[in-house]
Structure 1
Amino acid sequence: MSPADEKLKATYRVIAGSFLAGAAAMVMLGLVAPIAVKGGLSIRDAWAATADHNGPAVQPINVVQVRAQIAEAQRQMEAARQSSQASIDRLDRLAGR
């Protein structure tokens, strides 16, 4: 390999290394810096906080209310189906089905 080829290879390595260093710096500035500035990496924020709960963590389900909502949704779906059935039948006739 000639000295000119080795010099060209070294130049490519320097350019590639510089590009990677710049990309790494941009990632650090874009991702890590905002977290560090806001204190996301500070120890004081890592301590667990106590919370006061006035009720159960999961509220009981009102089965009657859920069934009423389902029945109302079914009524609305049936009404929508009936109101659009004439249009669907017409499209079927036009399509030759």
Structure 2
Amino acid sequence: MKLQTLKPRLKVASPGRALPVASAQVAQRLRGSAGVADRIKIRTRDCGLCQMCKRPGYLVDHIKPLCEGGTNEDSNKQLLCAPCHDVKSAREAAARAAGESVR
């Protein structure tokens, strides 16, 4: 029995076409064990409290989003509870949809 090869669904940029400069400068999100250690460090620094409402929080958030030129520095991270994170994320998404800068 011969296996069928699936057709790729992603379009590949033509060889002569360069990627936009902004996308090449976006910082990469920390993943794996480095990301876990980083999140533990931020939770400890913020005493486990949401930095907006001071309730217990567990989501580490970039103050200035990586897509807006934010960095992975500790000073650009904060601990948020889920409701505050949802509000902040919705505000950022609305600003991006309107073509505005988040910060």
Q: When the two structures are superposed, what TM-score results if normalisation uses the length of structure 2?
A: 0.20
The structure, 1 or 2, with the larger RCO (C-alpha pairs under 8 Å, 6+ apart) is 2
Which structure has the highest strand share of the two? 2
**Greater Cα radius of gyration, structure 1 or 2:** 1
Structure with a larger share of its residues in helix:
1
TM-score normalised to the size of structure 1? 0.21
